[in-house]
Amino acid sequence: MAEAGFEPVELLAALVAAASEAHTRRTWARRVVEVLARALPLVRLELGERAEGTDEVEVVSGAPDGGAIATTRRRLQEREIAALRSGRVDEAERRGPGGRSRLVVPLGGAPAAMFVALTLGPGGHLDPRFAATLGEVLFHLLRGQEVTQRVAELSRRAHVENRELREQARHGERERPLVVRSAAMQEVLRRIDAVAPFDTTVLLAGESGTGKELLAQRLHRLSARGHRPMVAINCGALPANLVESALFGHEAGAFTGATRRHLGVFERADRGTLFLDEVGELPLEVQVKLLRALQSQEFERVGGEERVRVDVRVIAATHRELEPMVAAGAFRRDLFFRLCVFPIRVPPLRERTGELPALTAALVADIAARLKLPAPPVPPAALVRLARHDWPGNVRELANVLEAAIILGRGATLALDAALAVDPTPAPAAAPVERLDAAIRRCITAALQACDGRIYGPGGAAQALGLKPGTLQSKMRKLGIDREPFVRE
């Protein structure tokens, strides 16, 4: 059965050759349009798929001569519904000058969920029986395209996951064991361990350097996703125009310089954990996109139309108080509630100075090993010196000071005085206005040092400060000052 102007068998062979290895529906549609347009006066091709349980259809459509392929959603037309129900080709002709015909070819038998609609220009005609055969071929090509797409997707995911896990393993070698001694941090750990097995979103709030990322790593490791990657992004480290692409990725050509498709952290963390560090720094316009992605676990890459579906567990961290930001309109209330499902406050180091001896010992051992130097001993006087400091940069600052002290003492001694002398953090005493609690801390630690950690009795710290021992102890509790490092046998 030959059609005017083309050889059906050749047409079908050309379709199979062109469309069998298309990776996406859009490429598939583009290739089918190109081949059909060589044989028929094709004006437009639509590939429709009925959205389950609705009278709506997702349409991928394209026209010949390099016309763009578009994806839309619309209501099904009466004739399309009838064709899908019967599984039979429907042909509608519009008469008059420039009259066109439109064939709706159901795919996959009756009732069908998919169709291809061909709009043909004047003189275009397709025998309905040939159109039905064409439908069968297109249906099988489409199934093939879906398999190709799935295989490509699985291979891409395996590749990404592999890379992330390798990266994580490299990072893990450097990951410090968490040192926790104080009651406050033990409570933090209890909360982390309790929420870990669930996919609940966790918000870690605490000053910079308090160990939020280390805690997020523990949370991830203890979760069912622990063997998959945890991908971290610092939302404050990128200019606003790049944050969106860092989160959701971009397609090639999305903006100047985007030469290749780039996967964002959402995709890289698929089936693992996404750690959104410094979430309070997110620009408002990105906050709304983040909220949508968190709600639906779906998003579009920048410059792309394809919806990407992921399965991520989110841990967010902030050194800023988000609630005042919400009140000031700098952080979206809805996003705040989305993130603040299970908040955990990580106390600053100055509220848990009791941990200093254990933390210092662990950090000195860890840093010395990394520097390939012997670990110097930590004399009690060094601990006293450390306990007097306010640690605005928390454990990170402590680690930095210890690293400098190990280097300056060449691994033999801990050259703390020299290290603290080069500490770029302005000492509270040098600041023009000192915070009241910092000043009180200084007085108390100085008295404890002078009294060898003794509180009661004559020559005790309470007497030296002119306070009742009970009052001193309550102030120490409030400021998290521990007397242990000052005690001398």
Q: Is the dihedral of CA 312, 316, 322, 325 positive or negative?
A: negative
Q: Is 176 in the site for ligand ATP (CB under 6 A)?
A: yes
Residue 300 CB, nearest distance to ligand ATP (Å)?
A: 29
Query: Could you tell me the smallest distance in angstroms from the CB atom of residue 262 to ligand ATP?
Result: 24
Q: For ligand ATP, give the closer residue by CB, 223 or 449.
A: 223
Q: Among residues 401 and 415, whose Cβ is nearest to ligand ATP?
A: 401
Minimum gap (Å) between residue 175 Cβ and ligand ATP: 7
Give the angle 72-75-79 at the CA atoms, nearest 5°: 115
Of 50, 212, 218, 388, the one binding ligand ATP (CB under 6 A) is 212
Candidates 18, 94, 30, 89; CA nearest to 65 is 30
Toward ligand ATP, which CB reaches closer, 22 or 395? 395
CB of 359 to ligand ATP, least distance (A): 6
Q: Which is nearer to ligand ATP, 347 or 460 (CB)?
A: 347
Residue 480 makes contact with ligand ATP by CB under 6 A: no
Task: Give residues 61-90 in contact with ligand ATP (rule: CB under 6 A).
Answer: none
Q: Which tokens go with 278?
A: 């410094």
Segment interacting with ligand ATP, rule: CB under 6 A, options 57-65, 206-214, 259-267, 455-463: 206-214
CA-wise closest residue to 251 among 269, 263, 239, 233: 263
How many whole angstroms from its chain centre is CA 269? 6
CB of 396 to ligand ATP, least distance (A): 4
Tell me how far apart the alpha carbons of residues 219 and 273 are, in angstroms, rounded to a whole number: 10
Residues 383-412 binding ligand ATP (CB under 6 A) are: 395-396, 399
From 209, 249, 357, 376, residue interacting with ligand ATP (rule: CB under 6 A): 209
Per rule CB under 6 A, count of chain residues that contact ligand ATP: 20
| Cβ neighbours of residue 452 closer than 8 Å, sequence gap 6 or more | 486, 487, 488
- Please, are residues 268 and 159 in contact by the beta-carbon 8 Å criterion? no
Euclidean distance between CA atoms 165 and 171, whole angstroms: 9
Q: Is 319 in the site for ligand ATP (CB under 6 A)?
A: yes
Letters for 17-56 (x = contact with ligand ATP by CB under 6 A, - = none) are ----------------------------------------
What is the smallest separation between the CB atom of 314 and ligand ATP, expressed in angstroms? Answer: 16
Token pair in block for residue 407: 């280097």
Task: In angstroms, give the least distance from the CB of 172 to ligand ATP.
Answer: 12
The answer to the question of residue 210 lying near ligand ATP (CB under 6 A) is yes
Q: How far apart are CA 23 and CA 18, in angstroms?
A: 12
Q: Quick one: 103 or 367, whose CB is closer to ligand ATP?
A: 367
Contacts of ligand ATP in 261-280 (CB under 6 A): 277
Question: Residue 16: which residues within 8 A CB-CB, separation 6 or more?
Answer: 137, 141
Select the residue interacting with ligand ATP from 211, 264, 354, 480 (CB under 6 A).
Answer: 211
Sheet strands side by side (includes 313-318): 230-234, 273-277, 313-318, 202-205, 342-345
214 binds ligand ATP (CB under 6 A): yes
Counting beta carbons within 10 angstroms of the beta carbon of residue 356, is it exposed (0 to 12), middle (13 to 18) or buried (19 or more)? buried
- CB contact at 8 A, 409 and 444: no
- H or E stretch covering 318: strand 313-318
Could you report how far apart the first and last alpha carbons of the chain are, in Å? 106
Q: How far is the CB of 181 from ligand ATP (least distance, A)?
A: 9
Tell how far CA 264 is from the center of its chain: 8
Q: How far is the CB of 223 from ligand ATP (least distance, A)?
A: 17
Subset of residues 321 to 350 that bind ligand ATP, contact rule: CB under 6 A: none
Q: Residue 33 or 238: which CB sits closer to ligand ATP?
A: 238
Does position 208 bind ligand ATP by CB under 6 A?
yes
Q: Which of 296, 124, 317 is nearest to 209 (CA)?
A: 317
Chain residues that interact with ligand ATP, rule: CB under 6 A: 176, 178-180, 206, 208-214, 277, 317, 319, 359, 362, 395-396, 399
